Chains A and B, each alone.
Chain A
């Protein structure tokens, strides 16, 4: 649902989850599904954010460690507690590893604010804004950026891996 800068009546639904005690939300239309911990196949020589590959109904989906992506301490290799938030945008499907899954929350446009500058830079780069909910801040995750390997300023990988 588009967030229109009109009256505060416009609401959107966010799928929420927890990463290092920070609450994040992603528009439900970007979330294909949420899963508990899935067996992953590690990808050697891939960037550290790549936690591995999971088999999602026959489709092989890359799992990115959102902790690492946000610049937080990555999970240990034996960590089996992470949950999967499978993001689907366009024809890209990537799973984000999070600490825990929250509820689907309805938020109002009126409660949306810009990201506070106190947030760490590496996290801010992936956050589009915050929703002030009772008692806490819900960070709006830029799912499209999150599922890429690096931030645009950090240098994009090109789409085609042209190997000779």
Chain B
């Protein structure tokens, strides 16, 4: 019905106020003497009353007034806040919600006079015995829902919210709701006798009203009965505070959508203009169109941001849900939230609202144990439910963990067998993980007692479906006795991440900054020395470690694979071009990346800027291309692909099976090594007759000269050598803590070529130059040593020259290592 604008405003404001009240009550329970919260609650209730009165909603006003009076006592300190009072006040909130629903459909506040609640409030106010209050509450709970409001579909919210009739009916102890299953015995008992009075913080209630859960679905009317009051209620410790109203404006969602569409059209027109501009030589036009292009992209991004909301908006309901549920079950639970500010697109929020609530309920209902059970298990009496949300890559991750009993694998196994889901044989062979996955099957629930909350068996499979519908994944892990964690991962349709833009093969790509370790730019000479080829794969030396190198252009345009008849021949004989990596001529831009434990260097043509980019998912049709995690629209309107660094690493490893994955480079033994990959190695002795090797390619010369030629420059030994000053490092003291074994009066020096200068390594003796293919076992790496290798049948250590330099002559490092 077409509502008066004032009434619409009233509805929106009042609903917000109710939310604030609800949050406030729950928070107040944990801090009963917090004056600010009480004052704020009081003001809100007062406002509610006032506006209701102004619009002529007398019955609503009447109810709010009663609530306000009670609150006034609490605020003045003449009455202490008790769980009973909180429950009644929460009941008032629920009832008002129901009335708002009536207002929405009839523009009047209905015929109900709410005497039950008003009486309860009065009773509490006059302190006429907690029992009276509870009895009134019990009576209130039996009340049928307000007549013309939509039926309270307070079902486990796994059921699709828009079809309450399709969901199994909740056994709310009311006659008006048809019950497909009998209400739990506890509830029945409660119906027949007033619940125990008292605000004792006793551990378990003897009988409590089975609370219908506060519905968090889209259904508005919620005449859910208030929970029983005997158990200590849940104590949420949410860190969410209501956002400052002053900095926000309220905008019609349709207006935002229209804005989005217009911007979309603008973008299309911009694209056409840019295309035209590319062919147009007029610089004024070009610059103007570029400016337009930039502005359009920014406008688009900002408008898209308007659709983003913090996940806290759907989390804010959860403390109440947990509280009510915990009270009804006689458990004590605190809820922790981290990352409530994590932003998500509106539509995603909508889609995950119900699944989240269901998962939370499950934790409370099936996860967290009763206090005596917890205590017996050595756990704190109060269970903890923690929610965590964070962005990672292009996804949002939500984790819900509890420290409860964990999944009961035996029960699951039995249930699956009973249902015929698995055969007995399979059941015995299933791993724990596989068993856990069974809960995602339709109709699966192992709750022994079907509460009206969960355990209806419609749960986790619907959760999984709903999440997968928006492209997400659900996973769980559990430890018996310790707890369960559920992980939801949703690729965002809108995520903004900082990324480095690089160019390769004439195209731009974006690399998420989270994967970026550093950038190394090498000129042609540096590239020659810094990039090494070990057994056919290119490696890059970074501060003493060898990182595998991936050439992006080669990865994207792989060189032809040798036909089978030619395998086994040395590459040189196949007549095929060597991959670019091997013959590296020219400068290199290396982007050092990390994904999981893999580190590697990516060679690209050009490194551009770091930008904030909007991550767009690739279509379903491209889901199999693992090296890209999405795409983005650049400032000029063109699409750039976003690299998935983990996928890239895997692909590169698969592409060249001889490549290791990061740190364990070159660890495989390759029996059919090519002729061309033998390396020349200079062997020398240091320390107490230890043999070491250094790749000959780095060695400029081998010298021998009298010890007397060694002079000092500052504290460093040097020698005059070929008209320049050659700095020296004695390897024996450096590596082995022994003096260099002197061979007469002469020292043996390996002149090693650095960037601008040479350096001389003083060794005991030069042994040999051998040509051999070897692999370095990096697990034996230590300071100044790359690792051990088997050369000529003996195990020797390979010198890490850069490391030596770094320690003893840092200014002489051959590359621009930071």
Bound Cα distance A52, B625 (Å): 13
Bound Cα distance A54, B633 (Å): 9
Contact of B631 among A56, A60, A94, A161 (CB under 8 A): A60
Is the CB of B304 closer than 8 A to any CB of chain A? yes
Is the CB of B203 closer than 8 A to any CB of chain A? no
Within the complex, what minimum Cβ distance (angstroms) separates A157 from chain B? Answer: 5
Bound Cα distance A50, B623 (Å): 12
Contact of A39 among B275, B616, B619, B627 (CB under 8 A): B275
Bound Cα distance A93, B264 (Å): 15
Residues of A within 8 A of B (CB): 38-46, 50, 52-62, 64, 92-94, 147-149, 157-164
Is the CB of B435 closer than 8 A to any CB of chain A? no
Instruction: Collect the chain B residues with CB atoms within 8 Å of residue A159's CB.
Output: 620, 623
Supposing A45-B556, A94-B619, A163-B626 touch, asked if A58 and B271 sit within 8 A by C-beta, the answer is no
Q: Can you sample 23 A-B contacts with CB below 8 Å? A: A41-B640, A42-B507, A45-B627, A50-B621, A50-B622, A55-B267, A55-B271, A55-B639, A58-B263, A58-B267, A60-B616, A60-B618, A60-B639, A62-B622, A64-B621, A92-B619, A92-B620, A147-B621, A148-B621, A158-B623, A160-B468, A161-B626, A163-B647
Instruction: Collect the chain A residues with CB atoms within 8 Å of residue B639's CB.
Output: 40-41, 52-55, 60
B641–A41 touching, CB < 8 Å = yes
Instruction: Collect the chain B residues with CB atoms within 8 Å of residue A62's CB.
Output: 618-619, 621-622
Instruction: Collect the chain B residues with CB atoms within 8 Å of residue A158's CB.
Output: 623-624
B556–A57 touching, CB < 8 Å = no
Instruction: Collect the chain B residues with CB atoms within 8 Å of residue A160's CB.
Output: 468, 473, 623
Bound Cα distance A85, B647 (Å): 32
Is the CB of B250 closer than 8 A to any CB of chain A? no
Within the complex, what minimum Cβ distance (angstroms) separates B437 from chain A? Answer: 14
Within the complex, what minimum Cβ distance (angstroms) separates B634 from chain A? Answer: 9
Q: Mark B83-118, 1 if CB is under 8 A from A, else 0.
A: 000000000000000000000000000000000000
Supposing A43-B641, A55-B639, A163-B646 touch, asked if A38 and B271 sit within 8 A by C-beta, the answer is yes
Residues of B within 8 A of A (CB): 263-265, 267-268, 271, 275, 300, 304, 468, 473, 507, 555-557, 616-628, 631, 633, 637-641, 644, 646-647, 650-651
Instruction: Collect the chain A residues with CB atoms within 8 Å of residue B300's CB.
Output: 58
Within the complex, what minimum Cβ distance (angstroms) separates A18 from chain B? Answer: 23
Instruction: Collect the chain A residues with CB atoms within 8 Å of residue B641's CB.
Output: 41, 43-44, 53
Bound Cα distance A55, B274 (Å): 12
Supposing A41-B641, A43-B628 touch, asked if A59 and B616 sit within 8 A by C-beta, the answer is yes
Supposing A57-B267, A58-B304, A160-B473 touch, asked if A39 and B638 sit within 8 A by C-beta, the answer is yes
A44–B622 touching, CB < 8 Å = no
A43–B625 touching, CB < 8 Å = yes
Instruction: Collect the chain A residues with CB atoms within 8 Å of residue B616's CB.
Output: 59-60
A55–B638 touching, CB < 8 Å = yes
Contact of A46 among B557, B617, B625, B647 (CB under 8 A): B625
Supposing A55-B271, A163-B644 touch, asked if A41 and B638 sit within 8 A by C-beta, the answer is yes
Contact of A44 among B264, B556, B631 (CB under 8 A): B556
Top 6 closest A-B pairs, CB basis? A57-B264, A44-B556, A161-B623, A41-B639, A53-B639, A62-B619
B621–A94 touching, CB < 8 Å = yes
Known A-B contacts: A41-B638, A50-B622, A58-B633. Give 4 more (CB < 8 A).
Answer: A38-B271, A56-B268, A58-B304, A149-B624
Closest B residue by C-beta to A61: B619
Instruction: Collect the chain B residues with CB atoms within 8 Å of residue A61's CB.
Output: 619
Instruction: Collect the chain B residues with CB atoms within 8 Å of residue A42's CB.
Output: 507
